[in-house]
Every structure is written in structure tokens, then in C-alpha cells.
Structure 1
Amino acid sequence: MDSPDQSGPVRIGVLGASSIAWRRTLTALQEVPDSTVVAVASRERDKAERFAARFGCAAVHGYEELLERDDIDAVYVSVPNSLHHQWVHRLLMSDKHVLAEKPLTIRPADTAALIGLAADRGLVLRENIAFIHHGLHRRVAELVGAGRIGHLRHIDAAFCFPPLPETDVRYRADLGGGALLDAGLYPVRLAQYFLGDELTVVGAVLREDPVAGVDVAGSAVLVAATGETVTLNFGFEHSYGAHYTLWGSTGRLSVDRAFTPPATMAPLIRIDEQDHAEEITFPAEHQFAKSAASFVEAVLRSRSTGSDPGHDDWATTALRTAELLDRISASAHRVTAGGQA
């Protein structure tokens, strides 16, 4: 195997042959000029070989073997949620940069530990929340900042979709499943994007599947330090919906298909005022490719500095996201899906 190359493209290994890796992230990485996918590891040999054939890389049977390779600079981690902490920790200790699927971990203390370890070892660690890399939301923030809806008073956001196959890992409590850590992370992170990290959870409800033992839907109310309120809805027992509305003192701004727009779709921003309605079409963007490119660029920058120059920019927000999700879970009133409390 090759020795580490600090001048060539970022050589990436993939830990976990997941659906999101197959559908989104690996195709996105192939669009990043300064990276190359070297190997995909799965505990199922057939899966590893299927991924390797499609993406033109090596198939690795078992996670340990990937960890031992010396021809990999960075690893994309896409294993079940409860395994993130263990494997990200081991990868960082092996001096590998890491792009981990969201949520980074299922406990705030574990998230804090990994953030600290990456900083201590001068490594890039990122949570793959792709939607925040879409320029649509930056444009929305510019419109709000320019006063298009007056003073922002309230945010309403939702990410919901139909039930998943019964075998999906998101129905596995032992693997860190549930709607809050999956769909719920998106509207929480959106609230942080527009209102900052100083948010307080003031109420929540989680609907639990009594058979699977995980939450399948939920709602929460948050309030910002400056007084703006937020209502969030999430789950996988609904018709599809991924949208948010920013409600201001003089108008409302709405975005549909907010979290998972296809790479070829031009998103629409709608502004409603008392006597005026306007629709603005934003150019299509491949948010997964932009997320992958952001990670690769950070790794390239770290080669010259010996550390991650962008660490502080994302670490506080990542930890606060984990804390907010944990607080929603801890404070929630729980009801049985399809039944009463």
C-alpha cells in the first residue's frame, strides 16, 4: 500500500455500505476534483463488492481492515448511529480525517469528546449535514437581513416522510434509531442557522412505536435568546414534506423541498406581504457535492497548517445541535403511535 501523500488528492475510504452512501455521498465525492474514493468497507462481503464495482474502488470485508490501510487519508463514516462514536474515535486515533453521517453521535458528551480529540490531533472532523451547504439558505438569510419580511418573529419548520421498511435501522433502538435523531435534526439545525445556537427547548412531544421502541414522529417548541419562537415537526409516519416558513413583522418567507432538493431542482422562495406576493427561483445546486467539497477543502488546508483552520466555526454548533436534540428527548411528553399517552 502507498504511504501518506500530502501533495495528491485526498484519498477516501468509506466505512459502511449504507443507502445514503450509495444514493448520495459517493456520487457526490466523485464530483470533487481533489478527492478519490479508494475503498469501501462493509461487514457484508457482497455489499462491499457491489459498491466497489459501481464506484471503481477496492472492496473491503470488515471495518478493521479499512482501519489498517495506509493508503487512506480520510474516511466517510456511514454506519448506524450508535456505532458512530466508537468508529470515529478509532479513526481519529489512527490519524484519519473523518466525515461522519449525521448525527455525529447519539450523546452530547460523546460529541464533545470527538470534537476535542480531533482538535488535539489536528484532524478535520465534520458532520455531513448537506442542506446547510446549499446556497438557497444563505440567500434567504440575506433577504431577511435586508428587511424583506420586517423583523423575524417566528420560524416554523418540518421534515416528514412516509413509513420506512420494517427492516430499516431507524426502527432499531439498539442502533440509535428514531425520528428525532434522523428527521428531527434537520429543522433543529435550520433554527440554529437563522437564530444562532442560543436556543432553549420549552416543550416537546414524541410519538413512540411500542413494538420498535423508538420515536417515529415528534414536535418541539424552541425560543431564542432574543425572543423569536420556533415550532418544529418531524417524523416518518406522514406524507412527504420538507419546508420552512420565516414569519416576520411585515411578511412571510417560505421554502419548500428545503432539506433534500434533487441536484437538478431549482428551489423556489416565496415572499407574502400584505398586498404583494413574490416568487424567486434559486439556481439548482448539488448540496451533497458541496458538503463533500467543503470537507475535502478543509483536509487540503490542514496539510499546510497541521490543524483544521475551520474547527471552531463548526464545533460549537455541532455540539449545540447534539444538546438540543438530547433536551428535546429528555423533556418530551411521550405518546404511543396510533394510541393515547
Structure 2
Amino acid sequence: MTPLRVGIMGCASIALRKTLPAMAALPGTEIVAIASRSADKADEAARAYGCRAVEGYPALLELDEVEAVYLPLPNAVHAGWIEHALAAGKHVLAEKPLTTSVSRTRELIGAAQAAGLVLMENMMFLQHSQHAAVRELFEDGAIGELRAFQASFAVPRRPPGDIRHSAELGGGALMDTGVYPVRAALSFLGGELDVVSAVLARRHGQPVDSAGHALLCTGDGVGAQVAFGHDHAYRSEYELWGSAGRIVLEHAFTPPADHIPVVRLERHSGVDRIPLPPDDQVANTLERFVAAVRSGLLPDNEGALRQAVLVDDIRTKARLYVDHATEPVG
């Protein structure tokens, strides 16, 4: 199969650290151009992969050799550049979240479908095999009937000047780390989740939320508690709590490719720790994107849309706590 010719729209950290190395290693993808608003940044990144450097994102979209674009730009500008890329006839792999609003997410999903183009949100954890192993245990009745779901993803405080501190760029913990536990809840509990209550906190004078919690609920009363933040000790896990036990998975959302997952199964008879083979969720995601483009089978973006709805509801319904401390964060 001919490699998918990809142009990179921006030199963000996640692109340089994770996506570009994985893309270069895959036989199914070819990095043909890297664009930045800065010619120097584009040149530096492009030299590492022996590809074309492009100054400015519009110029990247004009290249006939670019079949698809990977978009790791700040959240607030996703929608506009996704729209431009689709209009230029390019398939799009965009970092999460697709956009910062439900209406724009719905609009762009519809535009991609109408044009027969692949639009995919880069929610990489969904492509790791450890979650299929958890689902198999649960569906086999290992913990009985599900009673509750809990998920947490938080990281230490970002350095001054980080774009996640910027309201104008769509920063904040909810849009960055919060989407992971929300999407995990959707994955296991289905699309009928509603937001019951939420709290968002702004600390140390930040203009955006640095922490949050939300209670979600299914139509039959199964609750999901999600927690997220940018000012915490690191945590990345979820658990399913059933009538006969618990399934706990740590390192749930951003495990490195060499990480050996361990699923903890707790029941009355004791605790089993089940090791799983390592997996590369970055490579898996890229392979899925390529397969969708080459097959012409457009991805089902209902999960991304439901995620956008829940995130918007959390933001709308949240009680806001503001710590008026003046400690600068950039």
C-alpha cells in the first residue's frame, strides 16, 4: 500500500515528542512537509525527517502532494484550520479536543462526511489494547453488575507561559486532561450519560481552570465520577466497581510504548494482578487513521461529538471556585 503522504501543521511539543517519531517509523505514513508560522522552526523540524519545510499553514494546504494533515495546534484554533484543511480536500487527524464548542464539532464532522474525508480526533488512549482487556473482563461478568465508574487524569503544574494557561488559546484542565476521563466514561457507560453536577477551580491567579470534578449518570442510575487537573501529583487511572468486585487500571491514558500494563481485579476471593503485553497507542492511532483513509470507510465520530456535549455541559453546570492568590503562572 502506498504510504499516506502527511503534512504537519505546527511544531507543537506532542508532535515533536510523540507523533512525528511514530509517523516516521510506520511504513504506512510518509512525512512530506512540516509547516510553522516560523520558517526557522519549520526548517529545524523538517531537517530531522528529510522533508519539506513550509512557512505558514495556508501554504501547506496548497501542496498537491499532501493528502492528509496532522494538526497539533492550540485548542482554540482547531476548528478554523480543520475547516480550511477539509475545504482544501485534505483528510485531518486533529489533536483532542476537535474543537472548543459542540456546534463547531458537529458542523465539522458533518462537513467531513459530506466531502467523503476522514476527520479523526487524536484520542490515542482509545487505541491501546489494555482497554479491550478490561472490557473483556467486565463483559465476562468478572465483577458482576456495574454500580459505579471512576476516572482521574491530572498532571503537575505547567511552567509559566504554557499555552494551557491561556484562555484565548482554549487552555484549562477541562479541555486538556478532563476530556480523557470523560471519554473513558463514555467508552464504558455509553452515550446516554448526563452531567449531574460539576466543580471547576481556578487557582494561583490563573485565568483558566486548573482542576475539576464532575458527576455523570446513566439513565439507569450508574454514576461516573471524573476528576482532572493541572496542579496535582500525577494520576492516570480508572476503575469499574461492580456488585461482585472492582477492576482497576493505572497508567490508563498516556502509557509509553514499553509500559507493561497490569489490570487489578479485586473480588471476595482475593486480588489478581493481570499483566498485559505492551502496546503502542500512538502507532495504533496512526495506523487506524491510514486505514480509514485508504479504505474510504469514514470513522464514526459519535464518541467525539458526545464528548463535546458532556464537556460543554460540565463547563455550563459547574460551580466555579476562584482562588484569588496572586502567584504568577505566566
What is the match of residue 305 of structure 2? 319
What is the match of residue 289 of structure 2? 295
Q: Give me the whole-angstrom Cα distance separating, in 2, the residues matched to 1:148 and 1:8.
A: 43
**AA at the equivalent of 2:315:** S
User: Residue 242 in 1 paired to residue 242 in 2?
Assistant: no
* Counterpart among 320, 324, 327 of residue 334 in structure 1: 320
Q: Map 1:132-143; keep pairs closer than 5 Å.
A: 132-143=126-137
Q: Map 1:189-268; keep pairs closer than 5 Å.
A: 189-209=183-203, 211-268=205-262
Query: Per-residue displacement from partner, 1:34-77 (whole Å, max 9, x unpaired)?
Result: 21011111112222122112222111111111011111000001
Q: Give me the whole-angstrom Cα distance separating, in 2, the residues matched to 1:53 and 1:239.
A: 37
What is the match of residue 283 of structure 1? 277
What is the match of residue 73 of structure 2? 79
The normalised TM-score by structure 1 is 0.93
**AA at the equivalent of 1:335:** Y
Q: Give me the whole-angstrom Cα distance separating, in 2, the residues matched to 1:119 and 1:267.
A: 36
Q: Give me the whole-angstrom Cα distance separating, in 2, the residues matched to 1:55 and 1:186.
A: 30
User: Residue 176 in 1 paired to residue 151 in 2?
Assistant: no
Q: Give me the whole-angstrom Cα distance separating, in 1, the residues matched to 2:204 and 2:245.
A: 42
Query: Per-residue displacement from partner, 1:78-130 (whole Å, max 9, x unpaired)?
Result: 11111101000010011000000000000000000100000110000000000
**AA at the equivalent of 2:83:** H
* Per-residue deviation, 1:310: 3.5
* Per-residue deviation, 1:226: 2.8
The normalised TM-score by structure 2 is 0.96
What is the match of residue 328 of structure 2? none
Q: Is the 8 A contact 2:205 2:323 kept in 1?
A: no
* Per-residue deviation, 1:210: 6.5
Q: Give me the whole-angstrom Cα distance separating, in 1, the residues matched to 2:189 and 2:204.
A: 35
Q: List runs of 5+ in structure 2 lacking aligned partners.
A: 326-330
* Counterpart among 116, 126, 129 of residue 122 in structure 1: 116
What is the match of residue 266 of structure 2? 272
Q: Is the 8 A contact 1:29 1:293 kept in 2?
A: no
Q: List runs of 5+ in structure 1 lacking aligned partners.
A: 1-6, 303-308
Q: Is the 8 A contact 1:216 1:337 kept in 2?
A: no
Tell me whether 19-28 or 99-108 shows the greater mean CA deviation: 19-28
- Tell me the percent identity: 44
What is the match of residue 39 of structure 1? 33
User: Residue 49 in 1 paired to residue 43 in 2?
Assistant: yes
**AA at the equivalent of 2:125:** F
Q: Give me the whole-angstrom Cα distance separating, in 2, the residues matched to 1:162 and 1:177.
A: 15
Q: Is the 8 A contact 1:17 1:42 kept in 2?
A: yes
User: Residue 310 in 1 paired to residue 298 in 2?
Assistant: yes
User: Residue 26 in 1 paired to residue 14 in 2?
Assistant: no
Q: 1:54 to 1:211 in 2, by over 3 A?
A: same
Instruction: Kindly tell me the number of residue pairs found equivalent between the two proteins.
Output: 325
SS at match of 1:212: coil
Q: Give me the whole-angstrom Cα distance separating, in 1, the residues matched to 2:226 and 2:148.
A: 11
Q: 1:38 to 1:337 in 2, by over 3 A?
A: farther
User: Residue 11 in 1 paired to residue 10 in 2?
Assistant: no
**AA at the equivalent of 1:299:** V
User: Residue 164 in 1 paired to residue 158 in 2?
Assistant: yes
* Per-residue deviation, 1:8: 2.7
**AA at the equivalent of 1:298:** A
Q: Give me the whole-angstrom Cα distance separating, in 2, the residues matched to 1:28 and 1:226.
A: 41
**AA at the equivalent of 1:324:** L
SS at match of 2:221: coil
**AA at the equivalent of 1:137:** H
Q: Give me the whole-angstrom Cα distance separating, in 2, the residues matched to 1:337 and 1:283.
A: 43
